[in-house]
Structure 1
Amino acid sequence: MTDLRDDIEWRITPAPVPYAEALAEMEARALAVAEGRAPELVWLLEHPAVYTGGTSADPSELRDPQFPVVQTGRGGRYTYHGPGQRIGYVVLDLNKRGRDVRQFVHGLEGWVIDTLGDLGITAFRAPGRVGIWTHLPAPLGAAPAEAKIGAIGVRVRRWVTLHGFSVNLSPNLSHFDGIVPCGLPDFAVTSAEMLGRPTDYATFDAALALRLAAFLQTHSISQQNWA
């Protein structure tokens, strides 16, 4: 499904898209955006099972990979993508939205955190740990443990953003065991399914869409905020 919202194409691809194919299409789109030949893009999709390594990936953190490993130009370390995980690729032109990568990442995190909140999942940023975090249910009297429910990884080329976020709705969490997720061995990963919240893509996508305007405006990356 494809439509345009305020000059941003909102695309949802229902069938799984191989990682290399999605990467090639996203990079071509980013170039077209930079050259003024195409509108900005938010692309929601799913990948077949794959591990991807960012620019800070350490090969020692490949524990026992069960699936192909692909090196990519995004920031960050190793992560897993697969069925049950919603991927969001965000191709925005920071030339017209403010050339502040840190603010863009902060806004991207906030967009996902707010969306999860609408689905009943209290999520948050963790100092020193990029990504989206939440609390696991804890036994009575015990402090809740923190677990990662979403990953953020971006790249900026000619001030156009590539890559974006992933959110665990209902993936097989054992697939993360093949790597040290995001280089953080002391923290678990979790999912909406584990927390007893909605896991279908349609519900998540609709909640995300309702927060799009706030992402562009409230988080200081809209053009009017940079006039």
Structure 2
Amino acid sequence: MSAIRTENVEWLSCLDQVPYRDALAAMEARNAAIAEGRAREQVWLLEHPPVYTAGTSADGAELLDPRFEVVEAGRGGRYTYHGPGQRIGYLMLDLKERGRDVRCFVHSVEGWVIATLGDIGVECWRAEGRIGIWTKDIDGREAKIGAIGVRVRRWVTMHGFSVNLSPDLSHFTGIVPCGIEEFGVTSLKKLGIDMGPQEFDKALHNRFEDFLGALEGKGECLP
């Protein structure tokens, strides 16, 4: 079995808040550069100032209280909130080199985040028909702790995932998160786990080789 090529992927962990429009422009530029062979693949971990982003399936009726800027993201999915205390992972990976399978990519991203949260002590799972990362909230009900939204252009991925470390959960009430009304959102902080971005990034990195292995057919991808 050949080794997983983690050394070809740049790992960028940013502790400053990056405005969403700036990040989107940088991500699109990196996507094009990777597709043209001018740049390495990249994982970019960061946070945004408060913003609502609209995916390609966003329904205006689900924008309940636009108290923050609303930006069309170009990714799949509906409305999502990003803000301080939420860790964002933007993945710019070349699927020409990693299987050319978008379904496998999304599934593997979910698995990566679920495994990372499991290492932290939070049991999470996929839910049939509901993209994202789900767990049990403090009231025992199912709640979303992470979101997934991707775009693939010229077989290079964009966007990725978000995980709620310690955001202001009231900010999610301005939208119907991902179009799902019947379930709430939660965070590591609400579940009693105090974890900063650097520690969380390290936990993600510890599982990164497993994630790439799933994409390259060296680990389980589909159920």
TM-score normalised over the length of structure 2: 0.94
Residues 1:176 and 2:176 are matched in the alignment: no
Question: 2-side partners of 1:21 and 1:37: how far apart?
Answer: 21
1:159 is matched with 155
1:195 is matched with 191
Question: 1-side partners of 2:182 and 2:72: how far apart?
Answer: 24
Distance 1:132 1:43, change over 3 A: same
| Structure 1 residue runs of 4 or more that deviate by more than 2 Å after TM superposition | none
Q: CA RMSD in A?
A: 1.3
Q: For the Cα contact (< 8 Å) 2:138–2:190, is it kept in 1?
A: no
3-state SS of paired residue (2:135): strand
Distance 1:223 1:124, change over 3 A: closer
Q: How much does 1:222 deviate?
A: 1.8
Which string of whole-angstrom CA distances, capped at 9 and with x for unpartnered residues, describes residues 17-51 of structure 1? 00000000001001000011100000000000000
Q: Which runs of 5+ in 1 are unaligned?
A: 139-143
Q: For the Cα contact (< 8 Å) 1:121–1:197, is it kept in 2?
A: no
Say how many residue pairs are matched: 215
User: Which of residues 195, 202, 222 is equivalent to 2:216?
Assistant: 222
Aligned-partner residue type, residue 199 of structure 2: T
The correspondence of residues 143-158 of structure 1 with structure 2, limited to 5 A, is 144-158=140-154
Question: 1-side partners of 2:119 and 2:45: how far apart?
Answer: 18
1:71 is matched with 72
Q: How much does 1:66 deviate?
A: 1.2
Question: 1-side partners of 2:16 and 2:147: how far apart?
Answer: 21
Q: How much does 1:107 deviate?
A: 0.1
Question: 2-side partners of 1:5 and 1:160: how far apart?
Answer: 16
Question: 2-side partners of 1:108 and 1:148: how far apart?
Answer: 15
Question: 2-side partners of 1:189 and 1:208: how far apart?
Answer: 21
Q: Which runs of 5+ in 2 are unaligned?
A: none
Q: How much does 1:88 deviate?
A: 0.3
Aligned-partner residue type, residue 135 of structure 1: K
Question: 1-side partners of 2:194 and 2:22: how far apart?
Answer: 29
1:185 is matched with 181
1:212 is matched with 208
Distance 1:74 1:20, change over 3 A: same
Q: How much does 1:65 deviate?
A: 1.6
Aligned-partner residue type, residue 214 of structure 1: D
1:27 is matched with 28
Which string of whole-angstrom CA distances, capped at 9 and with x for unpartnered residues, describes residues 136-191 of structure 1? 134xxxxx310000000000000000000000000000000000000001100000
3-state SS of paired residue (1:13): strand
